[in-house]
């Protein structure tokens, strides 16, 4: 089975769970993710905990919800899809006219055939979701609206995987798990994330320590950073980070810059996408939308960007019932997985070298240079001589790759040859 | 009466005065300007005073001038328009042939139907001005050329208005009053300037102290800066300055950069023109032409640029008899007045803020954020979240405006909300 | 006789010599160059000397070489052109079949009618060169291949000319003399170089000390820098340097940047070419190919770029028998000579000035400004006022030239006027 298929099957299993920013849907999801990466630790932060400028909300539990007409027929049923209920809806058990009912039915008027994904985390209310067509077709009647839910002092749950490396320098990979039954904008991120962790565990050496976090969006990243010494530790150690989201479809790749677009994470993302996915799209931080908002916020300022496929907020199925298992695919997930592998491989190998001799080294005596000099005889070694030329202790491999137009992955074996020949030494930046 | 009409009427009143770089024409002009802004102080600097590398010239007085043909008919008369006499002409009372006469008649050959504006401040000579057509039509005759003028040890006059603000930081607004009967390239500048001063006086608070100067061009700005501690004071306190000239017609807006184009004055000018007059034209300092030359000169280096409408030196009527009251208009003057107001308002409000919490502030609990989250629900608050994002103590409002594509005037009320909510603090740069 | 013709004749005299990276061909060449510039000193560095990462190779001497068919007819003869033998070929005296012979015959398959220039400096082997057409036409036969050569412990020879200037700051002009009978990619460089030295000797003053080096390519520049304190001295004193090569044809001019493209050498080259040869072509350091490689190598990092006409490696005749005396011309050589003169003149005059007064100086009282002011009257002095404007102690003449769009050569006499008038002072950068 391809790894794409494995990730797809994981998404399919997780799809029906009714996730929210708190509650058992998240816990079940994390439980299944931990089955892929047993190193995952789970953490609970009680409702009411102050987290920076925010407060951890009450936990939400929902058991059932429906609307019946006067004949007792269900015209809406939570068990069909959990998108039918507005997230964090209060309990409700009330008969009402069509007009009253319509006030608590949410639709996406510009996409009349989709059920929108709607939440009201921070103001208490009740609501249902329908397609605009369904809502418009509701006849005059007396309806019975019912939600069996509760808000109570519980906790917010998050997962964390730390894979230690040879250094304390860290790569952060953050993804979220707070959306109910949607596929690309939810499950693709966690699925690719755990399989990346699984792959990283197989590496004989890891230069970086890897920090994976699995959190509800916004409140989760804020909560996570506010716990213990997380923020101070991350500000000190995280050298590059990525927000994983919407990494499951087969359309384009999209890079969303960090706040100033100039961090190591930006550099490696742009470099890898340029060489391997040259048609990728780029967005400035003005087009941010997910947890890169928190990681880049003033005062936090971690070097975090986002690499997704179709960008959240921009594809038509986003935050609707159409973001289903048909939108993502094994090949879409595997493509994103591979893109992240390429970025992480480039980061793992990224070093700054300096040539150890004055002038060009004599490559010929080391068997690295053509022994016959004739027009055209050096074409095959241009990447090598260009790499040597800029190995002056001021450019890391990514910078050299950008400058000389050769992928980092092609420079890695050359740099190794140079190191082995004693012609390169590593420079601490 | 609109303020545009008031400014136009002021120009009309000042139009006939025979101004030069010294003399009673300037004094009468300043007297009328002071009537609008009584805070104006008038200053006299004696002829012969050394001012940097220059010397204040003798004062010029002219009473009459004409050319008569042999029949005693006037073929040129100073009282028709003061442009008829070259500025600073020596007295003359001489009969001469047509050939001799032609040597002291100046025309604009490439615009045969205009009387050019010609001066000879720093070399003593006499001269008259005609259209090329008039000059060509002069018949052979013996002419009587007469100028009743004098050059004498007098003084150079300038006006100054200081409007104190809450800080010692200053905004400089400089304009000149040394051209005879021309409208756009002369009277528009002083008219808009005094009405800006009048408006600034009505503000309940002024962050900046405002320094208005009314001077003859070149020699005046040099003289002004050389007096007392003006230069040292201005180098210490002036944070932005503008040269006002050619601000009365209805054509385009033009920005003329400071020497390196990177001062606060440049930044606010480009920002305001970009958002409010997007078709404005921009010129580098290579196209300078007025007192920005002196304010930007090596050793002086004040942050001064120019914002005009049709740029001096570039519009066809410039420095000719066609630059008359028909070239400027109430709407033209009021447009420039409004552009300067926008720039000054942006400067007054321009601050550098820093968010007071880690991560994004929770706007919802303060009623600043939609409580229902659904695709599209955040469109209305994008300016606010973008402002917060870059409020990291490193960008002033103008820089943020440039970066996020929202006018400064739209950011001002949002910044106030954030300050009131305790979410922003001001940072000293 | 024009200087172009003199240079051409020198090339013609040198053309037949069988140069290589060592040996008497080089010595004869240097002897003839020294006849133009008697200040030249010649130096021998013994075979086996360690030079940075390299070792000076054995000296190569060749007396004769041919291939005969079974009838004793020569089918290849070294005396026709020295390109017929692979450089550094070992002695050979052997009969062989056509198949065996073909293994040691080198051609340029993509240019079937040229004899390629081929060497094997650092691996010992024997070889001949033919056109592809000749090789293909060889009939089955038993051939006698003969090379009368030897490799022995001798020395590498280089020439050096130092022309002292008023300061220790140096300009480096490097060219090479290791190619056999080729005209543009060899002899044009030394010819233009010695005539530039001859011209510099005639200057009444030289601000810079000039260092000319005449070396075999690659091994020569490495050897040269490794000798005595050359490298340390050059790193301290060389302010700009140029590699002279391929400066004899009549096609374009080409600038090859230094490693980061931002040295004084780059600045003057781009400036002069922009104004005087606006159709010139520019290449980044990724297109380097000659001794600029060594001068720019990590750890050496001298400010050296290259200015050539048709760029080495890019013109079709490069490194073939077609790079002959018909490819270069007196006008081609003289054009390059003139381009270098312009660059050196610009460097000699390049200073950083500061205006000595506040504000604009009063040019009128010094006779440097029109005394009549009228629209258009200042057009003729714009270069002067623009120069003054940026003479603030932060821009050298080349930087001002770039900024104001006026050639350095037009600024030099203006700067002199300003100095003479006491309006400029020189600033040490």
- Pairing type for strands B392-396 and B352-355 reads antiparallel
Closest among A326, A364, A350 to A426, alpha carbons compared: A350
CA distance C406 to chain A (A): 32
Give dist(CA A128, CA A109) in Å, integer. 15
Whole-number pLDDT of residue C246: 97
Cβ A221–B374 below 8 Å, yes or no? no
CA distance A11 to chain B (A): 23
Whole-number pLDDT of residue C411: 97
CA distance B388 to chain A (A): 8
* C121 touches A at CB < 8 Å: yes
Q: Which helix (H) or strand (E) holds C205?
A: none
Cβ C358–B226 below 8 Å, yes or no? yes
Sign of the CA dihedral running C408, C410, C416, C419: negative
Whole-number pLDDT of residue B138: 97
Candidates B53, B110, B286; nearest CB to C404: B286
Give dist(CA C217, CA C199) in Å, integer. 25
Whole-number pLDDT of residue C139: 97
Whole-number pLDDT of residue A377: 79
Cβ C354–B226 below 8 Å, yes or no? no
In this predicted model, what pLDDT tens digit does every residue of A393-421 receive, in sequence order? 999 999 999 999 999 999 999 999 999 99
With CA atoms as reference, the chain C residue closest to A421 would be C53
Cβ C374–B120 below 8 Å, yes or no? no
Whole-number pLDDT of residue A260: 97
Residues in C touching A386 (Cβ below 8 Å): 286
* Helices A188-201, A24-36: inter-axial angle, 10-degree rounding: 30
Helix (H, G, I), strand (E, B) or coil at C412: helix
Residues in C touching A389 (Cβ below 8 Å): 259, 285, 288, 293, 296-298
Q: Pick the residue of A353, A358, A363, A365 with the most C CBs within 10 A to test the interface with C by mutation.
A: A358
User: Above 90 in pLDDT, residue A380?
Assistant: no
Cβ B405–A286 below 8 Å, yes or no? yes
Q: Find chains touching chain A: ≥3 CB pairs under 8 Å.
A: B, C
Q: At B222, list the tokens.
A: 């040099």
Q: Which long-range contacts (CB under 8 A, 24 or more apart) does A378-387 make?
A: A383/A410, A383/A411, A383/A414, A384/A414, A384/A417, A385/A360, A386/C286, A387/A411, A387/A414, A387/A415, A387/A418
Closest among B119, B141, B140, B115 to B129, alpha carbons compared: B115
Whole-number pLDDT of residue B397: 98
* C418 touches B at CB < 8 Å: no
A47: burial class by Cβ within 10 Å (0-12, 13-18, 19+)? middle
**DSSP summary character for residue C200:** H
Candidates A362, A376, A423; nearest CB to C54: A362
Q: Which long-range contacts (CB under 8 A, 24 or more apart) does B289-293 make?
A: B289/B256, B289/B313, B290/B176, B290/B217, B290/B243, B290/B245, B291/B174, B291/B176, B291/B215, B291/B217, B291/B218, B291/B220, B291/B221, B291/B243, B292/B243, B292/B256, B292/B258, B293/B218, B293/C360, B293/C389
Q: At B336, list the tokens.
A: 């420039």
Give dist(CA B303, CA A36) in Å, integer. 62
* C298 touches A at CB < 8 Å: yes
Cβ A297–B359 below 8 Å, yes or no? yes
Closest among B56, B62, B113, B112 to B87, alpha carbons compared: B62
Cβ B359–A320 below 8 Å, yes or no? no
* C296 touches A at CB < 8 Å: yes
The residues that bridge with A30 in the sheet, in sequence order, are none
Cβ C357–B53 below 8 Å, yes or no? yes
DSSP line for B29-78: HHHHHHHH-TT-EEEEEETT-EETTEEPPPEEEEEEEEEE-TTS-EEEET
Cβ A365–C122 below 8 Å, yes or no? yes
The residues that bridge with C58 in the sheet, in sequence order, are none
Candidates C53, C116, C298; nearest CB to A375: C116
* B287 touches C at CB < 8 Å: no
Give dist(CA A175, CA A171) in Å, integer. 13
CA B405 vs CA B408, B411, C86, C303: distances in Å: 9, 11, 66, 42
Candidates C354, C355, C359; nearest CB to B225: C359
Q: Find chains touching chain B: ≥3 CB pairs under 8 Å.
A: A, C
Give dist(CA A232, CA A174) in Å, integer. 17
| Mean pLDDT score, A224-241 | 98
Give dist(CA A354, CA A294) in Å, integer. 37
The share of chain A scoring above pLDDT 90, in percent, equals 94
* Helices A24-36, A3-14: inter-axial angle, 10-degree rounding: 160
* A297 touches B at CB < 8 Å: yes
* B90 touches C at CB < 8 Å: no
| Contact yes or no for C192/C336 (Cβ under 8 A) | yes
| Contact yes or no for B231/B192 (Cβ under 8 A) | no
The residues that bridge with C305 in the sheet, in sequence order, are C242
**pTM of the predicted model over 0.90:** yes
Interface of B with C in 309-328 (CB under 8 A): 313, 318-320
Q: Pick the residue of C375, C379, C387, C390 with the most B CBs within 10 A to test the interface with B by mutation.
A: C375
Using H for helix, E for strand and C for coil, what is the string for C13-72?
HHCCCCCCCCCHHHHHHHHHHHHHCCCCEEEEEECCCEECCEECCCEEEEEEEEEECCCC
In this predicted model, what pLDDT tens digit does every residue of B93-125 receive, in sequence order? 999 999 999 999 999 999 999 999 999 988 999
Question: ipTM of the predicted structure?
Answer: 0.94
Residues in A touching C122 (Cβ below 8 Å): 362, 364-365, 371
Cβ C362–B313 below 8 Å, yes or no? no
The residues that bridge with C91 in the sheet, in sequence order, are none
* B202 touches A at CB < 8 Å: no
Closest among C173, C177, C172 to C187, alpha carbons compared: C177
Interface of C with B in 330-369 (CB under 8 A): 354-355, 357-362, 364-365
Give dist(CA C320, CA C211) in Å, integer. 31
Whole-number pLDDT of residue A194: 98
Candidates C86, C106, C225; nearest CB to A359: C225
Q: Pick the residue of B374, B379, B387 with the most A CBs within 10 A to test the interface with A by mutation.
A: B374
Q: B350-387: string of b/e by CB count within 10 Å (b at 16+)?
A: bbbbbbbbbbbbbbbeeebbbebbbbeeeeebebbbbb
The share of chain A scoring above pLDDT 70, in percent, equals 100
Whole-number pLDDT of residue C323: 97
Cβ A123–B375 below 8 Å, yes or no? no
Q: Pick the residue of A355, A357, A361, A374 with the most C CBs within 10 A to test the interface with C by mutation.
A: A374
Centroid of chain to Cα C71: 46
Average pLDDT over chain A reads 96
Q: At B230, list the tokens.
A: 């003006």
* B424 touches C at CB < 8 Å: no
Whole-number pLDDT of residue C220: 98
Averaged pLDDT, groups of 10, chain B, 429 residues long: 97 97 97 98 98 97 97 97 96 97 97 96 94 97 98 98 98 97 96 98 97 98 98 98 97 97 98 97 96 97 98 94 97 98 98 96 90 82 96 97 97 96 92
CA distance A69 to chain B (A): 26
Residues of chain C with pLDDT under 70: 429
CA distance B355 to chain C (A): 38
Whole-number pLDDT of residue C76: 97
Cβ C357–B119 below 8 Å, yes or no? no
| Contact yes or no for B211/B238 (Cβ under 8 A) | yes
What is the pLDDT confidence band of residue A376, given thresholds at 50, 70 and 90?
confident
């Amino acid at each position: 089975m391809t790894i794409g298929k494995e990730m797809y099957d994981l998404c399919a299993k997780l799809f029906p769970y009714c996730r929210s920013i708190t509650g058992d849907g998240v816990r079940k999801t994390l439980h299944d993710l931990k089955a892929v990466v047993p190193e995952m630790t789970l953490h609970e932060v009680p409702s009411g905990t102050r987290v920076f400028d925010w407060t951890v909300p009450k936990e939400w539990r929902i058991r059932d919800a429906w609307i019946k007409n006067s004949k007792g027929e269900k015209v809406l049923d939570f068990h069909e899809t959990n998108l039918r209920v507005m997230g964090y809806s209060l309990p409700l058990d009330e008969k009402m006219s069509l007009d009253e009912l319509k006030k608590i039915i949410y639709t996406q008027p510009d996409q009349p055939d989709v059920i929108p994904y709607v939440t009201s985390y921070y103001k208490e209310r009740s609501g249902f979701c329908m397609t605009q067509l369904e809502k418009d077709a509701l006849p005059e009647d007396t309806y019975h609206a019912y939600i069996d839910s509760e808000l109570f002092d519980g906790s917010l749950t998050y997962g964390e995987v730390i894979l230690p490396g040879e250094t304390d320098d860290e790569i952060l990979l953050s993804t979220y798990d707070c959306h109910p039954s949607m596929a690309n904008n939810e499950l693709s991120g966690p699925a690719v994330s755990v399989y990346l962790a699984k792959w990283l565990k197989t590496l004989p050496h890891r230069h970086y320590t890897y920090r994976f976090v699995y959190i509800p969006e916004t409140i989760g990243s804020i909560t996570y950073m506010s716990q213990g010494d997380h923020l101070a530790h991350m500000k000190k150690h995280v050298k590059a980070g990525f927000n994983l989201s919407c990494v499951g479809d087969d359309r384009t790749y999209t890079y969303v810059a960090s706040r100033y677009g100039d961090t190591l994470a930006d550099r490696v993302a742009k470099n890898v996408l340029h060489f391997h996915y040259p048609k990728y799209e780029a967005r400035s931080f003005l087009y941010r939308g997910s947890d890169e908002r928190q990681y880049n916020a003033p005062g936090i300022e971690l070097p975090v960007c986002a690499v997704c496929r179709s960008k959240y907020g921009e594809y038509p199925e986003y935050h609707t019932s159409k973001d289903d298992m048909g939108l993502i695919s094994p090949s879409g997930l595997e493509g994103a997985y591979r893109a992240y592998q390429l970025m992480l491989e480039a980061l793992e190998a990224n070093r700054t070298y300096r040539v150890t001799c004055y002038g060009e080294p004599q490559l010929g005596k080391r068997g690295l240079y053509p022994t016959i000099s004739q027009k055209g005889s050096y074409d095959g070694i241009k990447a090598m001589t260009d790499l040597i030329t800029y190995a002056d202790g001021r450019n890391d491999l990514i910078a050299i790759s950008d400058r000389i137009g050769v992928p980092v992955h092609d420079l890695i074996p050359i740099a190794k040859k140079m190191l082995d020949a004693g012609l390169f030494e590593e420079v601490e930046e």
